[in-house]
Amino acid sequence: MPVVFDSEKRVFKLDTPSSSYAMKISPTGYLLHLYYGAYVPDTDLDYLRMRQRNAAFSACVASAEEGGLSLDTAQLEYPVNGSGDFRSVALSVRGANGSSVTDIRYRSHRIYPGKPKLEGLPATYTNDDSEAETLEIVCVDELTGAEITLIYAAFSKLDVITRSVRIANTSDKPFSIERVHSAAVDFTEMDFDMLHLQGRWAKERTLVTRHLEFGLQGIHSRRGSSSHNNNPFIALARDGYTEESGEVFGFSFVYSGNFAAEVEVDCMRSTRVLMGTDPVDFAWKLEPGESFQAPEVVMVYSDHGVGGMSRTYHKLYRFNLCRGEWKTKKRPIIVNNWEATYFNFDSEKLVAIAKDAADLGIEMLVMDDGWFGKRNNDKSSLGDWYVNEDKLKGGLAELVRRVNALGVKFGIWFEPEMISPDSDLYRAHPDWCLHTEGRERSIGRNQYVLDMSRKDVRDNIFDQMYKILSSANIEYVKWDFNRNLTEVGSELLPPDRQSEVAHRYMLGVYELLERLLAAFPHLLLEGCSGGGGRFDAGMLYYSPQIWTSDDTDAIERLEIQYGTSIVYPPSAMSAHVSACPNHQTKRTSPFKTRGDVAMAGAFGYELDLTKLNDDERGLVRRQVADYHRYYDVIQNGDYYRLINPTESKGDMTSAAAWESVSSDKREVLLTYVVIRTQPSMSRYIRLRGLDPALTYTDTESGRSYSGALLMNAGLNLTGFWRDGESRVWHFTAERK
């Protein structure tokens, strides 16, 4: 039973295979957090709640029954504003009397198998009820009538506890939610590193770590999307952890809009983690009878270091977040024409690429930006989703028919949330973009952002997309999003609801995605936002793969994919071989290396196949064969990061290495890439996750090693390596 309630001690305990999480109802109904960490069998955890007060300055709860409980220093399950807890809080409700003092107490709870859907939002789910158990705790703020339901699901086979919060107005007056985090956890110590994924356009998700200090630290996005800059994820790793050992607590937000992860260390050396929608410029008015659902936070516990945490996220996100037939179906090898042609293409050019694709075994052609309206550069036509027949002579259906006739599938690019000022749509509806009356409209990549909180806007875009997608055999859509949100206002909402727009925008996008998938259930959707600017768990609910970065340089991708793999599985990371000199960095790296690096994700090409020489064509054939040969171990295996490309050891060849191990441990794929070579240097690489007792054979050389030898002594890489050179080893151990 993952969730138990000890009614005598009034303790809730949630257990996963290796972790426990506990809280207690105090005599007058405060929810006190007791524990989150390695599995413990006890429920008699009351002694943990005794906390030192901050001398006379700590206010205490008035009721004598609470024995001088001070919210200033207590470990609180869901901290609120204004009643004596001076740390950052999870919830603040402004009532009809104008005050934001909030006070919530336990009212009731229920425990049930499975996991509920979250109205209008992406969330993890169970494939059958035995995979998780849910605890809902209802707390009430008597004065405002706010009813707060804390929702927890404990997974039975993974060390995962999910959190979310629903707030209902049960009174006869409106109130306003001014801050609502989806999860709060109080830890009794501060001896942790905080890990997060930092970046910018074309350099997304670099893993950074820092030790916790007293005071506030954290990350956020106020860009209207999860952003290139800070991924909606943090982890606390207890001192002494490594990549494969020690305790790590992960927090990942299943949301694609503004978010905040706040970590505060107080004078008692205790640490509070909060994660939810960013409180800045956020407020939500609830009329009597209305309710608000906050997005989900996925907490992962690992006692096998950062790698253990990643493997849990990978499994959960692959099987309990991604949906539809493409969640496990083998993805097609794609060739995308963006870096091949940019805006300069026509049907003949696309068919020529498709011919080569067919010859080389590449399975799908994706027609990127530039096929619609009058779009010959990025200055016009977003919103005008009708075919430019000057480019696609004979129309889209005819082009798709010709590509399909070659045995190649067809995919298409859209940027549904955007509108160019130079478009028929904007000329007809200048009020349809996000804007604030009386303020200038900021422009980004020559475009404005459509007000996706409006149903009429969504209907229009859906109808246009529907027409295109049902006009031909289109099996894939790349859904792009290429600027941040500014002047976030909506013409249809009253002044006291303008702070709801950023979240309503996201709800609108999710609704449109859902509608599209309902209309085209076989569609493979690929997320994109100028590369990986919206690479988050929210989008993975709709699109099982996301374009990882606009930087296709193999060496840069080592860091980007390393950081991305901290949370997201290889199946989610779209990765393509592109031409050299690379368009983003001007670097030239070997064609083989480009393939070996892209092979670690959802594989494809981003170049003009018609321009490849014979050697390169040979390498493409080899890569296509490798893709099919290694697909299972890469996509379904366990992922191990062996060498971090970001950690530069000055006296050593800088490199990257990663490994996939099949679940029965009988197949292993290891990739090693040299970034900057050095003379007279030896290097050994020790494998991980193998069975020490099995004998593994290198399928190329035929040499055999015990698993123990590969994990403890490792492979000897001494020899001459060039900058950018890569090598792949494939081992198998006989299957019974």
- Catalytic residue set: 480, 550
Single out the segment in contact with ligand GLA by CB under 6 A; choices: 19-27, 30-38, 260-268, 524-532. 524-532
Site membership for ligand GLA, residue 413 (CB under 6 A): yes
Q: Around 347, how many Cα atoms within 13 Å sit in the side-chain half-sphere?
A: 17
Residue closer to ligand GLA, measured from CB, 372 or 432? 372
Give the whole-angstrom CA distance, residue 549 versus residue 203.
7
Residue closer to ligand GLA, measured from CB, 535 or 542? 535
DSSP letter at 536?
S
Residues contacting 397, CB < 8 A, separation 6+: 471, 472
Q: How far is the CB of 358 from ligand GLA (least distance, A)?
A: 23
Residues contacting 372, CB < 8 A, separation 6+: 381, 384, 385, 386, 387, 388
Site membership for ligand GLA, residue 526 (CB under 6 A): no
Give the whole-angstrom CA distance, residue 572 versus residue 561.
11
Burial class (CB in 10 A: 0-12, 13-18, 19+), 117: exposed
Contact 272, 87 (CB under 8 A): yes
Residue closer to ligand GLA, measured from CB, 76 or 334? 334
Interface pick for ligand GLA out of 145, 373, 489, 531 (rule CB under 6 A) = 531
Single out the segment in contact with ligand GLA by CB under 6 A; choices: 202-210, 432-440, 523-531, 610-618. 523-531
Site membership for ligand GLA, residue 556 (CB under 6 A): no
Contact 103, 28 (CB under 8 A): no
Residue closer to ligand GLA, measured from CB, 327 or 583? 583
Distance of CA 366 to the CA centre of its chain: 24
Site membership for ligand GLA, residue 528 (CB under 6 A): yes
Give the contact letters, 370-409, x = binds to ligand GLA (CB under 6 A), - = no: ----------------------------------------
Residue closer to ligand GLA, measured from CB, 115 or 375? 375
Give the contact letters, 333-362, x = binds to ligand GLA (CB under 6 A), - = no: -----x------------------------
Tokens of residue 490, six digits: 């909506």
Contact 122, 542 (CB under 8 A): yes
Interface pick for ligand GLA out of 159, 368, 551, 559 (rule CB under 6 A) = 368
Give the whole-angstrom CA distance, residue 291 versus residue 166.
7
Interface pick for ligand GLA out of 106, 547, 705, 721 (rule CB under 6 A) = 547
Residue closer to ligand GLA, measured from CB, 150 or 366? 366
Q: Around 159, how many Cα atoms within 13 Å sit in the side-chain half-sphere?
A: 25
Residues contacting 470, CB < 8 A, separation 6+: none
Site membership for ligand GLA, residue 480 (CB under 6 A): yes
Site membership for ligand GLA, residue 705 (CB under 6 A): no
Q: How far is the CB of 369 from ligand GLA (least distance, A)?
A: 3
Contact 24, 7 (CB under 8 A): no
Residue closer to ligand GLA, measured from CB, 70 or 482? 482
- Residues in the interface with ligand GLA (CB under 6 A) total 11
Q: How far is the CB of 480 from ligand GLA (least distance, A)?
A: 5
Residue closer to ligand GLA, measured from CB, 341 or 677? 341
Tokens of residue 107, six digits: 């009212």
Residue closer to ligand GLA, measured from CB, 257 or 604? 604
Single out the segment in contact with ligand GLA by CB under 6 A; choices: 75-83, 357-365, 527-535, 646-654. 527-535
Q: Which residue is associated with the tokens 């001398």?
A: 55
Site membership for ligand GLA, residue 667 (CB under 6 A): no
Site membership for ligand GLA, residue 550 (CB under 6 A): yes
Q: Which residue is nearest to ligand GLA (CB)?
A: 369
Give the whole-angstrom CA distance, residue 469 versus residue 450.
21
Sign of CA dihedral 289, 290, 296, 297: negative
Residue closer to ligand GLA, measured from CB, 356 or 369? 369
Distance of CA 304 to the CA centre of its chain: 21
Q: How far is the CB of 566 from ligand GLA (least distance, A)?
A: 21
Single out the segment in contact with ligand GLA by CB under 6 A; choices: 222-230, 526-534, 594-602, 674-682. 526-534
In terms of C-beta distances under 8 Å and separation of at least 24 residues, what long-range contacts does 618-624 make, across chains too?
619/591, 619/592, 619/595, 620/360, 620/361, 620/362, 620/577, 620/595, 621/360, 621/361, 622/595, 623/577, 623/595, 623/599, 624/333, 624/360, 624/361, 624/362
The rounded radius of gyration (Å) of the Cα atoms in the chain is 27
Interface pick for ligand GLA out of 206, 482, 578, 584 (rule CB under 6 A) = 482
Give the whole-angstrom CA distance, residue 421 versus residue 429.
10
Give the contact letters, 440-479, x = binds to ligand GLA (CB under 6 A), - = no: ----------------------------------------
Interface pick for ligand GLA out of 247, 369, 553, 559 (rule CB under 6 A) = 369
In terms of C-beta distances under 8 Å and separation of at least 24 residues, what long-range contacts does 62-68 make, across chains too?
63/27, 63/28, 65/27, 65/28, 66/26, 66/27, 66/28, 66/30
Q: How far is the CB of 397 from ligand GLA (least distance, A)?
A: 23
Contact 118, 295 (CB under 8 A): yes
Interface pick for ligand GLA out of 232, 257, 383, 530 (rule CB under 6 A) = 530
Q: Using CB under 6 A, list all residues that contact ligand GLA.
A: 338, 368-369, 413, 480, 482, 528, 530-531, 547, 550
